[in-house]
Structure 1
Amino acid sequence: MKEGWRWYGKFDKISLSEIAQTGASEIVTAQHEIPYGEIWASETVQATRQKLNAAGFNWTIVESLPIHEKIKRNDGDLSGLFANYRQSMANLAAEGIEVICYNFMPLLDWTRTDLAAPVARGGTCLRFSSAKMAALELFMVERPEAENDYSAEVIRQAKAWFEASTQAERDQLIHAVMAGLPGAYDRFDTAGLKEALKAYDGISRDQLRANYKRFLDEVIPTAEDLGLRFAVHPDDPPRDILGLPRIVSNEADIDWILNAHESPSNGLTLCAGSLGANPRNNVPDIARKFADKIHFAHLRNVAKDPDGSFEEAAHLGGDTDMVDLVSALLTEQRKRRTDGRKDADITFRPDHGHDLFNDAEREAHPGYPLLGRMRGLAEIRGVIAGLSAQLPAA
């Protein structure tokens, strides 16, 4: 398996020379400074590739080529947005990009309520608290019918937290929820989030699915022509948020997506952490079921609470059997080599990580510290080496 590392370009506090010392060979990045819907110019993509190659890295995976919110809502004349998207795809393919990781989460990206929750033996992690999320929805955004999405006990805890919280703590909560948005984009305050949600009024799960199918029908034929593979990232967390339907959350959702436009170019980013936050998901089994469509893997772990809360665990800790999951990926990789597939080697990256030692002082992107991810990479590297030694040569 190829070892990747996510890098945020000029917004990243971690340098390429430092990443090189982790041993990772593949950089996973994007043009985070370009607003959604605009074309990624050939010159810009080429400059990124040249910079990464000069630093000794390969760049074959984009994460992400964002989808404009109007496309997710099927809002108005979308011909220009789709044309721009396809042109960006062509410009990426011309520079050697093979895989485009993307998501179809409405309005928000990955969502957490705490960016520095303490870890038992030191350091901090990302956490999602159902009570704090309920407090945001019920008492800050004041979303109608939000009480239907939470248990009576979670609502009680949410009310207690809200009544005891200061304005600074409420501001910190909305800041944490907005932290998943990549790059230099403006984040919403509470009033802005409340206003932004209005654009999704009346959009049901079935309607969002229909909009998603249109997206696939618009871009997958071009991906086939260009030799690109699309890899959808699961919802994070895998549940509805702020009343917005999330449609990439479990095995049934993935099955629907891969059959909505059948093509070798329509595939999956296997994110162990996102899928692992749903107690009904068996991540190694999902990996085995959709193995031939996994174009990219995010390996991390979560520890779940009964009320729907969860936090980032150590990569070999948490609730997902990481050894079983890596074994499933290695088995698929061996099969691909036997079958002579050009995409036989699966690229993974250590996703998220605890802030360890002086990680917090760097103020890197939340969830993307240097030392915490390097620990995760080293642990997964060890699992891969141990399992690979037990397999006969492909």
Structure 2
Amino acid sequence: PSSVWRHLTSLFDAYRNVSEEDLWDNLEYFLSKVIPAAEKNGIRMAIHPDDPPWPIFGLPRVITSQDNIRRFLSLYDSPANSVTLCSGSLGANPSNDIVAMIHEFHDRIPFTHIRNVKVFENGDFIETSHRTQDGTVDIEGVVQAYHENGYTGYTRPDHGRHIWGEECRPGYGLYDRALGIMYLWGLWDAYKRSAAAPSQLKEAVQ
């Protein structure tokens, strides 16, 4: 409807002169006011990456890469200032190394979204199943990185496709998310058993 478009246009106009550095300054101010209260109350704030991780509609975005996440965490160096690492959002840019991010930021990730996307040669992307081979994100490596770092935070399979005739909210198919979480559990169990194998072999030899 024309009224909706007029409203969107007015919003874009209001932010037209906001630069990337303005966003960083605003974010730092926000953190300086909110994180002390979060620390006091035992709350961990966890920012979600921009999705997709690049400017859109002419507006800048800042939580888009490993370097920018590092900068964000340094704005207020506290466990209460953390990241919801979303492999799907960040994975829309193939240059983002999600596994490297997990190894670097694992102690500042209280909540993770693990989902897959398939990026095409022209930069377009679609959501796909959680299976590594169905997309561009190294889901196997992502789960392994969490396992290697002893991750104990919250995990969700996040988005899901519409399959088997399910009627649901767009992007949140229950059946596909159920398949996804079982795939993630299967990877986790495999890495857990693999890590225990050397000690088990040693015990068997003895």
Give the structure 1 partner of residue 141 of structure 2: 324
Give the 3 Å change call, closer, same or farther, for CA 306–190 of structure 1 in structure 2. farther
User: 27, 33, 36: which one pairs with 1:218?
Assistant: 33
Question: How far apart in 2 are the matches of 1:240 and 1:210?
Answer: 17
Matched, 1:243 2:50: no
Post-superposition Cα deviations, 1:157-202, rounded to whole Å, max 9, x if no partner, equal: xxxxxxxxxxxxxx8xxxxxxxxxxxxxxxx833321122111021
Percent of aligned positions that are identical: 37
Matched, 1:390 2:194: yes
1:203 alignment partner, one of 18, 21, 24: 18
Deviation at 1:223, TM superposition (A): 0.7
CA separation in 2, counterparts of 1:193 and 1:307? 28
2:16·2:58 contact (CA, 8 Å) conserved in 1?
no
- 1: distance between equivalents of 2:172 and 2:163? 11
| Corresponding residue number in structure 1 for 2:204 | none
**Mapping of 1:133-212 within 5 angstroms?**
189-212=4-27
Aligned to 2:154: 347
| Aligned residue in 1 for 2:44 | 229
More helix, by proportion:
2
Task: Tell me what 2:185 maps to.
Answer: 381
Output aligned runs, 1:13-162, within 5 Å. Answer: none
State the match for 2:81 in structure 1. Answer: 266
Gaps of 5+ in 1: 1-170, 172-187, 334-343
Instruction: Please tell me the residue identity of whatever aligns with 2:185.
Output: R
1:255 paired with 2:70, answer yes
* Highest RCO, 1 vs 2 (Cα 8 Å, sep ≥ 6): 1
What does the per-residue CA deviation read over 1:118-141, in whole Å, with 9 as the maximum and x for residues that have no partner?
xxxxxxxxxxxxxxxxxxxxxxxx
1:292 to 107, 115, 118: 107
Offset, 1:368: 0.7
Runs of 5+ consecutive residues of structure 2 not aligned to the other structure: 198-206
Q: CA deviation at 1:383?
A: 0.9
Aligned twin of 2:120: 305
In the alignment, the residues of structure 1 paired with residue 49 and residue 77 of structure 2 have an alpha-carbon distance, to the nearest angstrom, of: 18
- Following TM superposition, the consecutive aligned residue runs of length 4 or more in structure 1 with deviations greater than 3 angstroms are none
Q: CA deviation at 1:328?
A: 0.7
- Paired residue total: 194
Q: Which residue of 1 aligns with 2:176?
A: 372
SS state at 2:59 partner: coil
TM-score by length of 2: 0.89
Counterpart amino acid of 1:358? G
TM-score normalised to the size of structure 1?
0.48
Aligned counterpart, 1:106: none
1:315 to 95, 120, 130: 130
Aligned counterparts of 2:66 and 2:48: Cα–Cα separation in 1: 13
